Amino acid sequence: MDVAAEVVQRVAELRRLLDHHNYRYYVLDDPEIPDSQYDRLLRELQTLEAHHPALITPDSPTQRVGAPPAAAFAEVRHEIPMLSLENGFEETEAREFDRRVREHLEVAELDYTVEPKLDGLAVSLRYEAGQLVRGATRGDGLRGEDITHAIRTIHAIPLRLRDGAPPLLEVRGEVFMPLAGFQRLNEAARAEGKPGFANPRNAAAGSLRQLDPAVTARRPLDMFCYGVGSLAGASLPRHHSEILAQLQDWGLRVCPEWRRVSGIDACLQVYREILQRRAELPYEIDGMVYKVDRLDQQRDLGFVSRAPRWALAHKFPAQEALTRVEDIQIQVGRTGALTPVARLAPVSVAGVTVTNATLHNEDEVRRKDVRVGDTVVIRRAGDVIPEVLRVLPEQRPADTREFRMPARCPECGSEVIRPEGEAVARCVGGLICRAQRKGALKHYASRRAMDIEGLGDKLLDQLIARDLVHTPADLYTLDVAQLAGLERMGQKSAENLLAQLERSKTTSLAQFLYALGIREVGEATARALAGHFGRLETIMQADPTSLEQVPDIGPKVASQIHAFFQETHNREVVRDLQALGVGWTDTRAVPTERTLAGQTVVLTGTLAGMSRDEARNRLLALGAKVSGSVSRKTSLVVAGDNPGSKLEKARELGVRVVDEAGLQRLLAGEAPD
């Protein structure tokens, strides 16, 4: 029967696509699509050829492994072909594999070795008289590339085997790049303005196929061995699991996660266990390999054109997938950080339907040049938030536009600023921004700010959920009836909280400035501002140059203070707070002489004459830095009653220690004993 023209055309198109992607993957080490997309194309071609055998040709991608050797490397012919493995994606396919091999061997149950399928580059190592003489890539399975110069730089590969190794041994395994090393490599590349590698597999392949071995030597490569090819002068054990143990005895590394089990149910149990721990492993794997353990049974089962019948690669759900960017929206975090998020056409990744992916920050969006309408590769590993790895520019629509961070916050309309030297853009509407509301209110009420006792997380959640409080000023408009109606808040609790709010209206200018939650303004900076300017109005109107005249305030902090008070909404909240009775003595403060500037003081134990907070604030006013831990940089330790381990540490390091009387003399401007 004639094959339909559209089937012939689709087979030709699939072969063209697969050849193209094979070239990108194996020769250029620069894949355009994730493995899962390649697997889908290959399976579609396999299905069409299975239904129409007349279309199968010797050069079809279904009949070949990998790609031919590159011209830049000498060719190596493998004495025993390095074949690929049959893939299975569902549990039913694993069970079907088990059924086939058992029926062929006429046995009820089989022993298997189960090994992680490493996501690296398959290589062959040849040892003669125990000495490494050649390393080669798998290539197309029959011919590979001579990469001995690169292989010799990998510390995990022994240049000489241990005593007892056979006169001739060809061992097969996977060269890979550990995840930590991959991350360091990409960070270093980006720091130099160079593009990073797409994934650890391509980083490993690109490193191995360098012509200069010095480049390979600088790359963090590793290797696990998983089998033997040629062998002379010795015999192999009867089981594959014994071969793995033998390889270790000869000084070669094998993956520590392999298991020997009985039956397909046990294989699947190991599969599920390792899948659960996949994100914790220090290297990437994309599935588990089931191998019939007995070598005589392997020989009986034999091979098909491109794979052994006695092994199956049971792939994990793909961690990468192709999808389309439908929109780029901005999320505002509780600290005001603006994060661009890609809204995606729904796609299944690692067994989960993904519709959003983080784009991190403006620089990352521009570096990857992600645009609405783009086709992108996304990745989801373990519980990590999905991210866009790269764009496929060849599939970009003509009408796309570059991403621009908004000048105004999408939540509250306040100005968005990005301080020089920082990657993150932030909304300056800290007092009125919906996204920052709880964080701003919680900070305002905290002990070292306005010290409003009883206004905790759960109560704030209820006030916000019922839309009773939008800004700190709204706290002072609450009444007993509103508060008493909240969960776990009766009449008495409501009255107590209102009393705390009333008490908080009388404060210091420094505490009020700190309570506003201006980014980079801590207690010491707030105190310095209050001491230098004396009046809130003056601070609100100060330009960055004036603000930089305050001790310890540099350009970055000055810009944050200026931006905060330039925002109309923030000024309105400050005015509302003053109108509701929040106030302080608004006369110019006499600057305190900073007699302790440059000194680091640690407080430990209980003080009788003052609280630790009071002591801390008075030390800060004198210019000291108050630390919570003792180190060689500590200038002085103040020890009250029951001082604990900090006193012991101070004595060990020879740091000066004074008691409370010494602290009082220090605060009075006298030298402590």
- 447 burial via Cβ count (<10 Å: 0-12, 13-18, 19+): exposed
End-to-end CA distance of the chain: give it in Å, rounded: 107
Helix (H/G/I), strand (E/B), else coil: 57: coil
* d(C-alpha 597, C-alpha 250), whole Å: 64
Contact of 257 with 274, CB cutoff 8 Å:
yes
The one catalytic residue in 117, 315, 368, 646 is: 117
Contact of 370 with 359, CB cutoff 8 Å:
yes
For residue 286, how many C-alpha atoms fall within 13 Å in the half-sphere facing its CB? 21
Q: Which residues of 452-466 are buried (b: 16+ CB within 10 A; e: fewer)?
A: bebbeeebbebbeee
117 is annotated as an active-site residue? yes
* Integer CA distances (angstroms), 45 to 18, 158, 241, 313, 608, in order: 9, 41, 34, 19, 83
Helix (H/G/I), strand (E/B), else coil: 566: helix
> Cα-atom radius of gyration of the chain, to the nearest Å?
34
Tokens representing residue 325 in the block: 């960017």
Q: What single string gives the DSSP state of each residue in 213-242?
A: HHHHHTS--EEEEEEEEEEESS---SBHHH
The torsion angles phi and psi of 146, rounded to 5 degrees, stand at -75, 110
* d(C-alpha 505, C-alpha 7), whole Å: 80
Task: For Cα atoms 539, 545, 550, give the angle at the middle one, nearest 5 degrees.
Answer: 60
- Which residue in the block uniquely carries the two structure tokens 């001579």? 146
Contact of 145 with 136, CB cutoff 8 Å:
yes
Helices (H), 250-294: 264-277
DSSP single-letter state for residue 27: I
* Integer CA distances (angstroms), 481 to 80, 453, 491, 654, in order: 85, 19, 8, 59
Helix (H/G/I), strand (E/B), else coil: 293: coil
Q: Which residues of 495-504 are buried (b: 16+ CB within 10 A; e: fewer)?
A: eebbebbeeb
Active site members = 117
